[in-house]
Chain A
């Protein structure tokens, strides 16, 4: 399946679940115009898993919010985002609501922040079930217990009555996944779902996400900076830097033979016993360098990199 950038006709029939074309997002801010995304093309077919990788502050989370149309009013958006064939920015309020509650699920970092701290977790899962499946209260409660059990929470009957602060981070993330499962979505968006958790818990959550994805035949858009987790879950990867996709393709190919200098730098950090960092720091999105955004940090930059934006070829965006 082709990823990006491609002509619209190439994508028809392939990227059935999510299709992003020429998407650019910017925000006004006191520091100047913030360009969170520029000319992004992405596509996901049924049952596929794509990882959007990059450093924090590169604009990946903004992209995930754009897919669910959760951007603030001040955002300037150009290009199109089609979820399940529908252009999300032209939907009416009711249709958008239906799409969000029944077709898309968002799982985020720090689940304890996303859950209501004064409501029992069981009630929150039951509420998600009731809204998406139109169940009665009693039916919703038994659906919630079933969902909690399926996501691997021990003793769901007792845990139903607990509050988020009584559960660990890993448990809270399972509750979020249970809520996402309640609506039986076609598109799962997971934004750093396993960050800051123990590796053991990470592995359990990865297993859970894989089984949920298989069961629902859903497609997964995973957003993370952790390439190891990406390798476990996804078959395709798109590497983002300063709001632009720098490289994308099959995950095994990209991770074994990265084409773009940024990907090479990231993947070679720990290749020897001496850690090698990419010099410098990612530019703030309000002040992106001209030409290729990566040129100040690139060990192989030449003069054309400073002046001209790089073309897309061979699966990555580079002059070389």
Chain B
């Protein structure tokens, strides 16, 4: 492992983000109680042996709700990220490969870029109604133009290289060119941007949940839990505190992962591109 500092960052990022993802995946095995099970006698109680993180207003175990809450948060964030990346590739690659489509596709991208993301998200949710699919759409549609631009830009500069002309001379079609000359150079950048973006999406989902537009009760979701804890902040601060910490930890984990990925992938790329002695051509 070449870079000690990048290594530490990516290790921390991998550890944190995989912890959270595993929590969501294995929630039924990890959660101490049923997340929707109410126990009105133990409402708003602090952390104890039975309830590791305390209970909420309806006496539901906070720890179980937070563990189950990882599912919608991470699931929708990952789903939205995949959707934006796929749409970005679907628009960016043809724009670079087919100059005639370029004008049309880039103007379409500009249109979506110019719409403010929050407003668009709210409009979409108002049309679809709150719920996981609504949120997925609301996060994907404003997000893809960025990827389309990056994919198109990188592809265009790669397509101008003589190596593309050489393989076209040998009879390579668009798919071969994309696979061998474009994708190896595009995916590191998009992977980094996408990983860094997951944290932002988690925060956005929590924000929508905070506004009441996200995943609906009784499904636990961190933003909704946080807003539920606000009226009782004086008496039971642990509700908003722990849910806030969950959001922050997820954002941090994925951001560290993305930054570490960037540090490790880019030196490799520049090593491949020019591993030379000083002064050598």
Contact = CB atoms under 8 A, between A and B. Distances in A.
Interface stretch (A55-63, A139-147, A256-264): A55-63
Interface residues of B, number: 5
A285 B279 contact: no
Contacts of B280: 56-57, 61-62
A109 B278 contact: no
B281 A65 contact: no
Interface string B265-281: 00000000000011111
A83 interface: no
A137 to B, nearest CB: 34
Nearest to A34: B277
Interface string B243-281: 000000000000000000000000000000000011111
A284 B106 CA distance: 47
Interface class of chain B by DSSP: loop
A129 interface: no
Interface string A62-83: 1011000011100100000000
A109 B281 contact: yes
Contacts of B281: 56, 61, 109-110
A64 B279 contact: yes
Sort chain A's interface into a size bin: 10 to 19
Interface class of chain A by DSSP: loop
Interface in A300-315: none
Contacts of A57: 280
B278 A285 contact: no
| Best-surrounded residue of A61, A71, A110, A285 (most CB of chain B within 10 A) | A61
A218 B131 CA distance: 79
A110 B277 CA distance: 17
A109 B278 CA distance: 14
B68 to A, nearest CB: 48
A36 interface: yes
Nearest to A65: B279
A55 to B, nearest CB: 12
Contacts of A109: 281
Nearest to A63: B279
Contacts of A70: 278
Interface of B: 277-281
- Sorted from nearest, which 10 A-B pairs have the closest CB atoms? A61-B279, A65-B279, A62-B279, A72-B278, A65-B278, A61-B280, A62-B277, A34-B277, A57-B280, A71-B278
